[in-house]
């Protein structure tokens, strides 16, 4: 990654999420790192994953960092066969191999409760969200999600989760605030990242700063799954090494 940074002094991050097979429709600005906060498919079908990987392969970024979301069902390998295969993919002529499907996503840095360091910045990604109709990577509020958020390293500079923290860019069309209270507590009181990128709640697209953390809901489609006219939020950070 010797060519990181177009100006030699800073890294430009381009944030998207919830593209739901429509990533090719986005008019992405130039940047160094592409971040996708999950839901790149509708239901995790192999052809959807392949299409998204082609999009990544053809996107001109030095690094592409991706997490899964609740729609990316085949990526939740431990639960796919017993929870999602029959409900969502019963009409497929050939049974879907979740492991092979997940392996199709190869032209990116895929994070699943894991970290990567890019130019001195620690980036952590997790796909989990509070339980919602038993989709992928769902866990109940309380201890199950707390255990996931406890895994986030304190030195995380950029946090990527699929879902938002409670009362931060998480308001649904009906006024319900769907974010996770325990995630909010961990982010604001312990981790305190520079940026927290997420999606999941399409209608809450935007950004908000609390203390030293900038929160970005990067949902690229609206409530009706239509691509936004300006669906991208960017930020830049100085290169540290």
**CATH classification of the domain holding 194:** 3.60.21.10
Compute the distance between CA of residue 73 and CA of residue 69 in angstroms, rounded to an integer: 8
Which region, left, alpha or beta, applies to residue 57 given φ > 0 means left and ψ of -120 to 50 means alpha? alpha
Most distant CA atoms of the chain, gap in Å: 52
Given a cut of 70, the residues of the chain with pLDDT beneath it are 1-7, 241
For the entire predicted model, the pTM comes to 0.95
> pLDDT tens digits for 84-100?
999 999 988 889 999 99
Compute the distance between CA of residue 139 and CA of residue 137 in angstroms, rounded to an integer: 7
Compute the distance between CA of residue 189 and CA of residue 213 in angstroms, rounded to an integer: 11
pLDDT confidence of residue 67: 98
Residue 2 domain-assigned?
no
Count of CB atoms situated within 10 Å of the CB of 178? 16
pLDDT confidence of residue 48: 98
Q: How far apart are the first and last CA of the chain?
A: 12
Which tokens sit at 171? 């308001």
| Three-class DSSP category at 90 | coil
Residue 234 domain-assigned?
yes
Residue 5 domain-assigned?
no
Phi and psi torsions of 123, nearest 5° = -115, 125
> pLDDT tens digits for 170-212?
999 999 999 999 999 999 999 999 999 999 999 999 999 999 9
Compute the distance between CA of residue 190 and CA of residue 127 in angstroms, rounded to an integer: 20
Give me the residue label for tokens 């392996």: 103
CB 20 within 8 A of CB 227: no
Residue 96 domain-assigned?
yes
**How many domains, the chain?**
1
Residue 4 domain-assigned?
no
Residue 1 domain-assigned?
no
Which tokens sit at 233? 């939020």
- The strand pairing partners of 66, in sequence order, are 36, 110
91: containing domain = 10-238
């Amino acid at each position: 990654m010797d060519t990181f940074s177009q100006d030699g002094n800073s890294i430009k991050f381009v944030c998207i999420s919830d593209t739901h097979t429509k990533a090719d429709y986005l008019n992405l600005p130039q940047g160094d790192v592409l971040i996708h906060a999950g839901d790149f498919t509708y239901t995790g079908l192999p052809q959807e994953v392949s299409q998204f990987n082609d999009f990544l392969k053809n996107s001109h970024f030095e690094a592409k960092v991706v997490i899964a979301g609740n729609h990316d069902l085949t990526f939740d390998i431990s639960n796919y066969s017993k929870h999602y295969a029959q409900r969502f993919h019963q009409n497929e002529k050939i049974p879907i191999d979740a492991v092979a499907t997940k392996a199709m996503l190869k032209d990116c840095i895929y994070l699943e409760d894991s970290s990567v360091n890019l130019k001195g910045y620690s980036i952590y990604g997790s796909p989990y969200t509070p339980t919602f109709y038993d989709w992928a990577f769902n866990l109940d509020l309380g201890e199950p999600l707390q255990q996931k958020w406890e895994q986030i390293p304190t030195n995380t500079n950029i946090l990527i989760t699929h879902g938002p923290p409670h009362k931060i860019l998480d308001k649904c069309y009906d006024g319900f605030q769907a974010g996770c209270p325990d995630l909010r507590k961990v982010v604001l009181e312990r981790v305190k990242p520079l940026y927290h990128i997420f999606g999941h709640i399409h209608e809450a697209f935007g950004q908000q700063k609390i203390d030293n953390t900038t929160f970005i809901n990067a949902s690229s489609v609206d409530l009706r799954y239509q691509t936004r006219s300006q669906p991208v939020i960017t930020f830049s950070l100085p290169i540290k090494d």
